[in-house]
Amino acid sequence: MSAPQAAWLASPGGARRLHLQHGPIDLVIGADGAPAATAAAYDAAWARFQDILVTLVGELALLRQPLGQAHPLLRGPVARRMAAACWPHRDAFITPMAAVAGSVADEILQAMTQAAALDRAYVNNGGDIALHLAPGQSFRAGIVCNPDHPHGDAIAVLDAAQPARGIATSGWRGRSLSLGIADAVTVLAENAALADAAATMIANAVSVEHPAVQRQPAQLVRDDSDLGALPVTVSVGVLPIFAVREALSHGVRRAHDLRRRGLIQAAFLSLQGETETAGGDLPAGISQQAVG
Amino acid sequence: MNQAVATTENPKDAVVRCDACPVLCRIRPGRAGACDRYANVEGVLTRVDPLVITERAAAKGESVIPFLAGSEGWNGSVAAPPPEAVKPAAFVTGIGAGTTYPDYKPAPFIVSSQYDGVDMVTVVTEGIFSYCGVKVKIDTDRHLGPEQAAVRVNGEAIGHVTTAEYGSQMLSLGGVHHLTGGSKKEGTVTCDAMLALCNKQPVTVQIDGGAELVIQSGRPPIVNGVPEARMRVGCGSATIGIFAKQWLDHADEVIVVDDHITGVLTEHQAGRFLDMRLSGIRVRGRKSTPGRYFQVAEPGLGWGGTNISDPLEIIESIDAKTAWPGLRLLMVSTTGEHSAWYVLDDALKPQPAPMPAAVVAAVERIAENCEPSLCTVLFMAGAGGSLRAGVTENPVRLTLSVKDRLTRVTAGGAPVYVWPGGGITYMVDVARMPDNSFGYVPTPALVAPIEFTLSRADYAALGGHMDFVVQLDDVLQGGRLSRQGQRPDNPWPVARPDAESQP
């Protein structure tokens, strides 16, 4: 059995980043600040990472159960973050697994920021990102709608004055299964776990009945899926524009709903070249500009 | 192709259980696990996409730098990952290296390798240890025998019972007096028993005036034929402290029977704090503080490590002025293994009664909180003697180098604890060593692998046998090699010794 592993990623002229991997978890971590502080933060990230997966797996059966009336009693700190982030969405089908990536990112980021005073830091767990911003700092995050044809479709600028410290993206093309057909739904929220859960739920809502959309029971697509027999999207053909607009409108409605409840700050939805945003102050946060 | 069809026709047989990480995915043919790195290709677990991230990084013109302790400003306070993750690396252990007795000859393997840009030398040998012993921790509260009693195998004393620790009893076995100080048979039996224990095999021992035990590293002890299941949750008083609130509504008095400290709930600080009414039930033994009693019975194999089989025996008196008919009494041991429920009749005599479900649940809660019992075997030996001559011509410098943390000592690649003070006296958990790491010589003495790792410069400075240093690659190309994966819980032995704390 493999143990957690770590490697430095470096880009010419750019700051190095720490890559931590264990089983299905891949984290890319960056920290800015005094050298001693970033060293301590990387140290803390690696130390905290050691038992993350093992502890999660210990409660996996419970984490794959849909949330219902009773808040699940979980012990692991990441598991508890997952349940807390998904709890507000329990009126629809959701399991705590919807927030696993963001919760891991939040947990590692917390270990780093507790260990040292940093200017900026991010923990990117497969596109679900936990951020730390000291006053006056900001991040620019690129949004890629279609991972098969990656180019920057939009840039989200997050600055310390805004409340968002989490970014997450969900869509049917991603590694997790989706009930919806969105190419990508990117959400800004208070932390990565909340963003992760909300992105999943908004992406699920981006849906329309059309012959070009093919679905299969989740358990046939992926063994051990927490979605059971629910139909998940396996392919989306070219849709007529009215179907695209209808699907997006369902997602935007869900996004506005979550925004009114304070669960997200903003959302960016894309489907077959059409994009929508939700969030009144969104233009300040996400600027749509072609960079690709 | 035909084979692929055949396996998919019988998918049940072809499901692969992936053990690459703790998720343990069950993967059907043609599918990938949760990580997308491992897949079931025609019934065979296959790594399909080695290091997605690094490949992608490379495609963008980024380079991948090994993440090692001490590199790139890393302060080395974190253990390096298993090095095979970064580059193929090997560490030669002393197992099967052979010895150099008498010791003035250089050690069998003095191996040079690079780690973290520094030339490292590992001196690999098998030590013949006349000064060695085994410390055994047995997780049990049962009375195994009086302190200082002899521990025997086939009638020969091989060691003794030493201190009782939290939830466990320590045995000290072997040592030079049993190995060479007694009769020849005593020495041979001691050597055989230690050899078996260190090689993780079971050994049956008898304790004078106590129990017969089967002990084996990493397994539960077997006491008088009964495998121990669990440690107690705490002493009787601690058990009351933990569970008092959960018992409050279900019982009027709870007595936790324990050989060390028996607890009486209503009299105990915990019961006072919950405003419980005193029951007037007084137990035998010596009162320590309110509700805490020593020596309520003799030690034994009954309730809570006492010799009691009827718990009412430890009740000395019931005060008629304080107790009342109908008073509900729970008696329970510190593991929840024994329990009984009584109700006082009109004459204030405890009468057995069926235990209510809530009380059964409370007793089970005690059992649930008891950790599994294990035997732990630590090998302890002194490498301060003549084997140092195989490492250096000036032995005391090796000792000093170990003390200064310039030289790391490992045993079969496993980390050791080096005792402060003189000599190189170390302890190692045999469970972390490869199987069958130990041998013996008829002296009698135990043969155990030991490796000293230090930088090449330090090795030269302490008078090392520099002429005998060979390159790691040359050793790996030789025959008679057994390659084993490094245990993930052991630090990589060649990592800088000053970056690691003792295990």
Burial (Cβ within 10 Å: 0-12, 13-18, ≥19) of residue B273:
exposed
Residue A283 has pLDDT above 60, yes or no: no
**Confidence band of B115 (pLDDT split at 50, 70, 90):** low
Cα A20 to Cα A49: distance, rounded to the nearest angstrom: 8
Cα A6 to Cα A27: distance, rounded to the nearest angstrom: 9
Q: Per the structure block, which two tokens stand in for A59?
A: 């409660």
Cβ contacts of B25 on chain A, cutoff 8 Å: 223-224
**CA angle at A166 for the pair A21 and A135, rounded to the nearest 5°:** 110
Residue B418 has pLDDT above 70, yes or no: yes
Q: Shortest Cα distance from A254 to chain B (angstroms)?
A: 28
Q: Which of B386, B436, B347 is nearest to B95 (CA)?
A: B436
**What is the pLDDT, as a whole number, of residue A7?**
85
Cβ contacts of A22 on chain B, cutoff 8 Å: 21
Is the dihedral angle over the CA atoms B282, B283, B284, B287 positive or is it negative?
negative
Interface test with A, best of B15, B16, B18, B21 (most A CBs within 10 A): B21
Cβ contacts of B33 on chain A, cutoff 8 Å: 24
Cα B87 to Cα A5: distance, rounded to the nearest angstrom: 12
DSSP state of B393: S
Residue B10 has pLDDT above 60, yes or no: no
Residue B313 has pLDDT above 60, yes or no: yes
Residue B498 has pLDDT above 60, yes or no: no
DSSP state of A72: P
Q: Inter-chain contact B22–A53, Cβ cutoff 8 Å? A: yes
Most confidently modeled range among A244-258, B61-75, B391-405, B439-453? A244-258
Any chain A CB within 8 A of the CB of B182?
no
Alpha helices (H) in B234-284, listed in sequence order: 236-247, 269-273
Does residue A182 come out as left (phi exceeding 0), alpha (psi in the -120 to 50 range) or beta?
Answer: beta
Residue B46 has pLDDT above 80, yes or no: no
So where are chain A's domains?
5-287
Chain B residues 10-29 with CB within 8 Å of chain A: 19-28
Most confidently modeled range among A276-285, B48-57, B118-127, B413-422? B413-422
pLDDT in tens, A130-170: 999 999 998 877 766 655 555 555 677 788 888 889 999 88
Any chain B CB within 8 A of the CB of A234?
no
Residue B299 has pLDDT above 80, yes or no: yes
**How many CB atoms lie under 10 A from the CB of residue B137?**
19
Element (H, E) at B459: helix B456-461
Cα B195 to Cα B217: distance, rounded to the nearest angstrom: 12
**What is the pLDDT, as a whole number, of residue B413?**
82
Q: Inter-chain contact B66–A10, Cβ cutoff 8 Å? A: no
**What is the pLDDT, as a whole number, of residue B49?**
43
Most confidently modeled range among A118-122, A161-165, A217-221, B121-125? A118-122
Taking residues B301-325, report their average pLDDT.
91
Any chain B CB within 8 A of the CB of A290?
no
pLDDT in tens, B445-464: 888 888 888 888 888 888 87
Taking residues B467-491, report their average pLDDT.
66
Q: Shortest Cα distance from B437 to chain A (angstroms)?
A: 22
Report yes or no: B290 and B272 within 8 Å, Cβ to Cβ.
Answer: yes
**Least confident residue range of A6-10, A115-119, B245-249, B338-342:** A6-10
User: pLDDT averaged over chain B?
Assistant: 79
Cβ contacts of B54 on chain A, cutoff 8 Å: 7, 9, 19
Which ipTM value was assigned to this complex?
0.70
**What is the pLDDT, as a whole number, of residue A252?**
95
Any chain A CB within 8 A of the CB of B75?
yes
Residue B344 has pLDDT above 60, yes or no: yes
Residue B53 has pLDDT above 80, yes or no: no
Residue B311 has pLDDT above 90, yes or no: yes
Report yes or no: A42 and A18 within 8 Å, Cβ to Cβ.
Answer: yes
Which residue in chain B has the smallest CA separation from A125?
Answer: B53
Taking residues B219-242, report their average pLDDT.
88
pLDDT in tens, A199-208: 999 999 999 9
**What is the pLDDT, as a whole number, of residue B7?**
38
Any chain B CB within 8 A of the CB of A34?
no
Residue B235 has pLDDT above 70, yes or no: yes
- Tokens 């990656």 belong to A150
Which tops the pLDDT comparison, A154 or B86?
A154
**What is the pLDDT, as a whole number, of residue B47?**
64
Any chain B CB within 8 A of the CB of A1?
yes
Cβ contacts of A57 on chain B, cutoff 8 Å: 22-24
Most confidently modeled range among B246-255, B441-450, B483-492? B246-255
Q: Per the structure block, which two tokens stand in for B170?
A: 């320590």
**What is the pLDDT, as a whole number, of residue B123?**
76
**Domain covering A5-287, topology:** T-fold (3.10.520)
Interface test with A, best of B53, B72, B486, B490 (most A CBs within 10 A): B53
**Confidence band of B116 (pLDDT split at 50, 70, 90):** low
Among candidates A10, A26, A57 on the partner chain, residue whose Cβ is nearest the Cβ of B23: A57
Q: How many CB pairs (< 8 A) connect A and B?
A: 100
**What is the pLDDT, as a whole number, of residue B114?**
67
**What is the pLDDT, as a whole number, of residue B107?**
61
Q: Inter-chain contact A9–B86, Cβ cutoff 8 Å? A: no
Q: Shortest Cα distance from A284 to chain B (angstroms)?
A: 30
**What is the pLDDT, as a whole number, of residue A3?**
85
Q: Which of B131, B221, B231, B232 is nearest to B171 (CA)?
A: B221
